[in-house]
């Protein structure tokens, strides 16, 4: 397992060791022991989620306020996405900055997203199945978000504007400067 740190503190790309032969492949999608051995922060994942979306769907940017904020471990089971986070931690050197990466079922890489970051993704393939683990339960009262197309953030979602599909809820999210955050 390779863990690659990004410019945003605590945000990591995890490249698993994949064993392939004529029968298919095998890899550990999660090993607490291995992850704890590589990171200073320790995580205890307690909720596992999966979603399926079609090309052009953008989900996010979502987060939960503290004390219900979530660390997420994201991976794509099938298809390809552009995964994006925005740093909401006011004391962070990268506060207000975003980072994006393509993840796919082919590369099997994962994205470890610490608490205090907003998360979203755009589906780049015909369909995509995303699996993610969380270290805190979903809490609807603490759910918040930031509009995907905030010009102050300038995120390139890798999809043409006319091809974007969003939920009504995500279309009404505030811009970063007006978002409720307590990190």
| Global confidence as pTM | 0.93
Residue 183 has pLDDT above 80, yes or no: yes
Single out the residue of 56, 58, 77, 60 nearest to residue 133, CA to CA.
77
- The catalytic site residues sit at 62, 132
Instruction: Please report which confidence band the pLDDT of residue 12 belongs to, taking 50, 70 and 90 as the band edges.
Output: very high
Q: Average pLDDT, stretch 44-67?
A: 97
In this predicted structure, what is the pLDDT of residue 57? 98
Distances (CA, A) of 96 to 33, 136, 137, 156: 32, 23, 25, 15
Q: Average pLDDT, stretch 121-125?
A: 98
Q: Specify the pairing of strand 143-145 against strand 80-87.
A: unpaired
Instruction: Please report which confidence band the pLDDT of residue 28 belongs to, taking 50, 70 and 90 as the band edges.
Output: confident
Q: Which domains does the chain have, with CATH numbers?
A: 45-178 (2.60.120.10)
Instruction: Please report which confidence band the pLDDT of residue 34 belongs to, taking 50, 70 and 90 as the band edges.
Output: confident
Contact 49, 131 (CB under 8 A): yes
pLDDT digits (tens, 9 = 90+) for 66-104: 999 999 999 999 999 999 999 999 999 999 999 999 999
Single out the residue of 16, 31, 81, 14 nearest to residue 51, CA to CA.
81
Is the preceding peptide bond at 27 cis, omega within 30 degrees of 0? Answer: no
């Amino acid at each position: 397992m390779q863990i690659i740190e990004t410019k945003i503190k605590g945000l990591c790309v995890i490249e698993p060791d994949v064993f392939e032969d004529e029968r298919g492949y095998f890899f550990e999608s999660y090993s607490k022991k291995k992850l704890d051995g590589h990171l200073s922060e320790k995580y205890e994942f307690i909720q596992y989620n999966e979603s399926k979306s079609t090309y052009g769907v953008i989900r996010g940017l979502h987060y939960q306020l503290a004390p219900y904020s979530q660390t997420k471990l994201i991976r794509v089971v099938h298809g390809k996405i552009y995964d994006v986070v925005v740093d909401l931690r006011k004391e962070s050197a990268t506060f207000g900055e975003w980072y994006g990466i393509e993840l796919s079922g082919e590369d099997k890489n994962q994205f470890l997203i610490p608490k205090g970051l907003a998360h979203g993704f755009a589906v780049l393939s015909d369909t995509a199945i995303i699996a993610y683990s969380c270290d805190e339960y979903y809490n609807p009262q603490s759910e918040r978000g930031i509009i995907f197309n905030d010009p102050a953030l300038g995120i390139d979602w890798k999809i043409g504007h006319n091809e974007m599909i969003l939920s009504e809820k995500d279309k009404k999210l505030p811009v970063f400067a007006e978002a409720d955050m307590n990190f």
